[in-house]
Amino acid sequence: DAGVIQSPRHEVTEMGQEVTLRCKPISGHNSLFWYRQTMMRGLELLIYFNNNVPIDDSGMPEDRFSAKMPNASFSTLKIQPSEPRDSAVYFCASSARESTDTQYFGPGTRLTVL
């Protein structure tokens, strides 16, 4: 199994630019989670989807953040416009069913906004 795939692994951009992070969940999993990890705030849940439908986006920090899941094998997290305080590692995770607890994490995308 390839596991959760994220791209790009590293992204460096300038303030004000649009950033799109991508995630491919484990095949057959129907719950997908986006997390952000920083030294100050640790691991925070941003949003999660079940069967491609957003269930809880209360963790999305601002309207500059948006996430989509157009099909079962792909999700994006977009930041527009980006700001230096968005610099963090963004993780995607998936689980087999919403009621199944085990989440499997991808390798993350390290975002640096200059």
Partner 1 sequence: GENVEQHPSTLSVQEGDSAVIKCTYSDSASNYFPWYKQELGKGPQLIIDIRSNVGEKKDQRIAVTLNKTAKHFSLHITETQPEDSAVYFCAARSARQLTFGSGTQLTVLP
Among 14, 18, 83, 98, binds partner 1 (CB under 8 A): 98
| Strand partners of residue 21 | 77
What three-state secondary structure class fits 86? helix
Scored b (16 or more CB within 10 A) or e, 33-46 reads: bbbbeeeeeeeebb
In the region spanning residues 53 to 92, those forming contacts with partner 1, defined by CB under 8 A, are: 55-56, 91
Query: Applying CB under 8 A, which of residues 48, 67, 75, 82 lies at the interface with partner 1?
Result: 48
* CB of 75 closer than 8 Å to CB of 95: no
**For partner 1, which stretch binds (CB under 8 A), given 15-23, 40-48, 62-70, 71-79?**
40-48
Can you give the binding site for partner 1, defined by CB under 8 A?
4, 42-43, 45, 48, 55-56, 91, 93, 98, 101-108
